[in-house]
Amino acid sequence: MKEKFIIQGQEKLDGTITISGAKNSAGPILAAALLSSEPCIINNVPLVEDILKMLELIESMGVKVDWLGKNKIKIQTGADFNPANMDFALARKMRISVLLMGSLAVRFKEFKLSPPGGDRIVGMVRTKGGARIGLRPITTHLEALEQMGLKYRREENTYYFNSENLKSAKVILKEFSVTATENLMMAAAGLEGETIIKGAAAEPHVRALGKMLQKMGAKIEGIGSHSLKIKGTKNLKGVEHSVLPDHLEIGTFFAIGALTQGTLEIKNLIWDDLDIFLAKMNEIGVNFRRENNSLFVDFSPNLSGVRIQTLPWPGFPTDLLPLVIPLLTQASGRSLVHDPLYENRLGFLQELKKMGADIEIIDPHRAFIFGKTPLFGTSISSWDIRAGASLLIAALMAKGETVIENVYQIDRGYEKIDEKLRNVGAKIERITS
């Protein structure tokens, strides 16, 4: 069964939004819990499709998962823990399943994984078979773990791994890959000796994973930098740890608040994670203020065009770029957006153009957005999580009715976003067809 959103735009939105746990933080934390034979308790678990399926995948390997509350779980590995029993069909649906590579390499001499699924960022370039797909390969993960002695081969749709020679080492990452860094951190934490990771990613969820591994018994220097030194142990402890609030959900509701009449109060924030984003929003001209521990965003009719280039943290995050683009359609003048990381990240802009956005796609990485341009409701489709959120933002400020197909992609990263929106006055309905 497929679900879609039907949205009536230009409604006044007022009220409070409480930010949920971050999918990108929860994924590596769940994988890290598999490093210990002791129970781990995880708080603030987001109830989103990717994480719920990750828990199903963990359970399929014989790991015990108990819900202690609405967003709180206990994970315990035991004698039944066996990756040979993994639900491969489920793994193929999730990009997040790649995070199991590091922890399984520590716990098992041999295991196999399906190539991960998840986002397939659709591009503008047409091939004989249809739209060109910008896939997100795992080459960086494989090459990095090879430097630690992990052996692998690929046969059809399966990777076969052998970790008999896995050892601490000096690893040089060829790019600031977040998930590759997280896999290396988990592998290094469960090994005796010292591992050095050069070119490590430093995003908030990478730092959060590092803090969890420290609580489990690993000694880690350099958290938050691009160079990590990890002294691991084979006896990692069970711990209690919390998932970070989702700075990408904050960005989503921030844009909604700026583009719709009324005021949104956003609660459950880590302010240090928002510095670069809020600086750019100030440059654009969004009306916002901080009061105590809440972020208030007011309707902002006087926006200005800017240039935005995504960069490794602490630069402007790639996942926030799609969320800002609806703002730029309402900004005076010309804006330039550039994402050098993901090929065809901007393919979804074709959907915004259907709504009336004046956008010139220069190449798979860059686009001009011209404003101010009124947007109108129409039928559009979500290609991936952040593209879907961008279209949702646009629909809420557009005139008339918008139908967003394939909202499963939005559900992969947002916990009950339609309910949160209805609670502040949005007219949004979920329809199953």
Does 66 qualify as catalytic in the annotation?
no
Contact assessment for residue 285 and residue 35, using Cβ atoms and an 8 Å cutoff: no
Q: What residue ranges in 222-305 does DSSP mark as E strands?
A: 227-232, 240-242, 263-267, 287-291, 294-298, 303-304
Q: Catalytic pick from 50, 119, 246, 339?
A: 119
Q: Which amino acid is at 75?
A: I
Contact assessment for residue 71 and residue 21, using Cβ atoms and an 8 Å cutoff: yes
Residue 261 has which token pair? 């009449």
351 closest CA partner among 410, 430, 417: 410
Distance (Å, rounded) from C-alpha 300 to C-alpha 285? 7
Q: For the chain, give me the number of helices (H) and strands (E)?
A: 14, 26
Residue 119 has which token pair? 């986002």
Contact assessment for residue 405 and residue 4, using Cβ atoms and an 8 Å cutoff: yes
DSSP state of 194: E
Q: What is the dihedral of CA 165, 179, 215, 414, to 10 degrees?
A: -150
Pairing of strands 331-338, 303-304: parallel
Cis peptide before 301 (omega within 30 of 0): no
Residue 74 has which token pair? 């206990």
Q: Which amino acid is at 262?
A: G
Contact assessment for residue 200 and residue 170, using Cβ atoms and an 8 Å cutoff: no
3-state SS assignment for residue 85: helix
Query: Which positions are annotated as active-site residues?
Result: 119
